[in-house]
Chains A and B, each alone.
With several copies, the nearest count.
Chain A
Amino acid sequence: MFDAAEVERIRNDFPLLGHYQEQEAGGRRLAYLDSGATSQKPLSVLEAEQEFYERRNAAVHRGAHQLAVEATEAFEDARAAVAGFVGAGEREIVWAKNATEALNLVAYGFVNASAGLGGPEAERFRIGPGANLVITEMEHHANLVPWQQVAAHTGAELRVIPVTDAGRLDLERAEALVDSATAVLAFTHASNVLGTVNPARRLVDLARAHDAVTVLDACQSVPHFGVDLPALGVDFAAFSGHKMLGPTGIGVLYGRAELLDALPPFLTGGSMITTVDYQQASFMPAPQRFEAGTQPVAQAVGLAAAARYLAETGMDRIAAWEEHLAGRMLAGLQEIPGVRVIGPEEIGQPGDRLATVAFDVEGVHAHDVGQFLDERGIAVRVGHHCAQPLHRRFGVTATTRASAYLHTTEEEIDVLLGTVAEVRGFFLR
């Protein structure tokens, strides 16, 4: 865990936080409690991108010239760095524009395979009306709507594992829902609303027992605690650069090598075919087969710098600090009259709850809460956080969500708590 001095040191690495501090009259800080939506970037990430553009920018995997060789090296080194960060092999990492694209890539793999594309090796991705796809009630739209599309294309049934009132997955129901006709079990590693961390290994075991492909939404886990994807045993996983201190415009798909090579291509075009004539094409093995056209090269380099920054800071220490902040936030919010936390109200076991806390303020709409906090320099997210059905399940249309990261201070949490305590007085005046 960090101490206060270390958090201050970390803050100094983030130009935006420093900039805000300077700007604000009276030295008031920006309490950026919206890292769950997108994270701020340390200088080393910005510099890595800049350095790439100023010294090594060229088309990768194509040119014979020296600059192109250096660009290719930077690009593939970035892949190795990000692969290492999640324990994967380099060939198991595919670049995407964001996590959403990464999840769609897998979903469209099923669509394309089911339409007969992809040759014999795509057999295990072919599904039809008898099959089912299982997701959970706490999925982000990015891990929900693509599976609805697969269902619409193939006639497969979409099933939903419910969430308990306490904000955890109902594992008994999960065991009933996953059966021998289950083609996919897609679930989030950590909920961007409830803050719940799901028992990934257990869910993987369940899927494996029925030969279902597992797809992990790792958007909220990889940035916040150490994740070893092969150790979890998932088949596919997706996460985003911008939520883990990296640039916008880049996401990552992890796939077990064996499955990735068998999945039909998604985007098609340059740099992913071996030979092509006017009527047909044959495709390269993974990861290239999924990387059509010019890739987010500078962004890959930036993301690798972000992974390095996180690794050097230490994922375990980051997780411990955030858990500490989560405890403080949960305890404080529950003391405020009229405030209800949506999601686990406390940390059960270490590692089972993020410092991402959504709450409802009785009688005040979340957007009004957010406006009030913003006026005091506290940036939180309000709305359904791209989890509309989950909100419906908890009987609300919107919540206010505060999410911490490694640079969050105890003081910021306290300011949040103090300000939330004033909300009802203001609006119900």
Chain B
Amino acid sequence: MSLEQLYQQVILDHARQRHGNTVPISGLPEVPRPPYFGHSHQVNPTCGDEITVEVERREEDGRIVLRWDGQGCSISMASASVLSELAQEAKPDEVAPVMAGFQALMHSRGQGAPDEELLGDAAAFHGVSRYPARIKCALLAWKAFEDALRQASADYPDENGDRSTGAGRNEED
């Protein structure tokens, strides 16, 4: 596989123009936290890169509001940006299959054909699955998102959200 297939233009573009990348409120004591809120800080131990993802469930309709910040390689930054685009204002049970699909794609060892309809821009990451050392990069934001969403959904009064995201206790850290 060529480098161009790994680093598709859409990845490089997202890495530069990052969707949803903004200062997280969890670090700002003066900002009050929304009622259905979760945040997760993840470190990629291989490289030391890190990301923080914050998720709110909008009170009125339960839809996702996502914020993130971090530093890392183009793949991790682009992946966070794409995730943000896909999840922003979505319902948790709309996002669940995307998350599962992206996970599966990353573990396909270059064999899987991405479902472009489901994954949108995230399909561009299919080349990453051939590079074991980079899979963690692509999944970093998603892992943080999953964790934050679980927290945000813990007390949100709809079973759907709970079921589809495997919500547990609200464990803020």
Contacts and interface: CB of A to CB of B under 8 A. Distances in A.
Interface of A: 61-64, 68-69, 72-73, 273-275, 284, 288, 364-368, 371-372, 375, 382-384, 388, 391, 397-398, 426-429
B46 A371 contact: no
B71 A397 contact: yes
Given A365-B74, A384-B48, A397-B47, A64 B7 contact: no
A73 B71 CA distance: 27
A372 B3 contact: yes
Contact of A274 (B45, B75, B133): B45
24 contacts: A61-B46, A63-B133, A69-B133, A72-B133, A73-B132, A274-B43, A275-B48, A284-B45, A364-B74, A365-B72, A365-B73, A366-B73, A367-B73, A367-B137, A368-B75, A375-B2, A375-B3, A384-B47, A388-B48, A397-B71, A398-B48, A426-B7, A427-B7, A427-B12
Nearest to A386: B48
A117 B132 CA distance: 34
Given A72-B132, A427-B12, A371 B47 contact: no
Interface string B128-144: 00011110010000000
Given A364-B74, A383-B47, 11 more contacts: A64-B134, A73-B132, A273-B45, A274-B43, A275-B43, A365-B49, A367-B47, A368-B73, A384-B48, A398-B49, A427-B12
Contacts of A375: 2-3
Contacts of A372: 3
Contact of B131 (A274, A364, A371, A397): A371
Interface string B29-70: 000000000000001011111000000000000000000000
A63 to B, nearest CB: 8
Nearest to A273: B45
A371 B6 contact: yes
B133 to A, nearest CB: 5
B48 A383 contact: yes
Nearest to B74: A368
B21 to A, nearest CB: 15
Interface of B: 2-3, 6-7, 9, 12, 43, 45-49, 71-75, 131-134, 137
Contacts of A429: 9, 12
A394 B118 CA distance: 42
Nearest to A68: B133
Contacts of A365: 49, 72-74
B48 A397 contact: yes
A72 B12 CA distance: 28
Contacts of A288: 45
B131 A69 contact: yes
Nearest to A382: B47
Contacts of B48: 275, 383-384, 388, 391, 397-398
Given A275-B43, A365-B73, A397 B49 contact: yes
A291 to B, nearest CB: 12
Contacts of A398: 47-49
A277 to B, nearest CB: 12
**Nearest 7 CB-CB pairings of A with B:** A365-B73, A367-B73, A383-B47, A375-B3, A384-B48, A274-B45, A368-B74
A375 B74 CA distance: 16
A365 B73 CA distance: 5
Q: Which of B6, B43, B49, B137 has the most CB of A within 10 A?
A: B49
A368 B73 CA distance: 6
A427 B7 CA distance: 8
A68 B45 CA distance: 16
B74 A62 contact: no
A275 B6 CA distance: 29
Contacts of A397: 47-49, 71
A426 B46 contact: no
B134 A367 contact: yes
Contacts of A274: 43, 45
A383 B72 CA distance: 10
A426 B45 CA distance: 27
Contacts of A69: 131-133
A63 B12 CA distance: 22
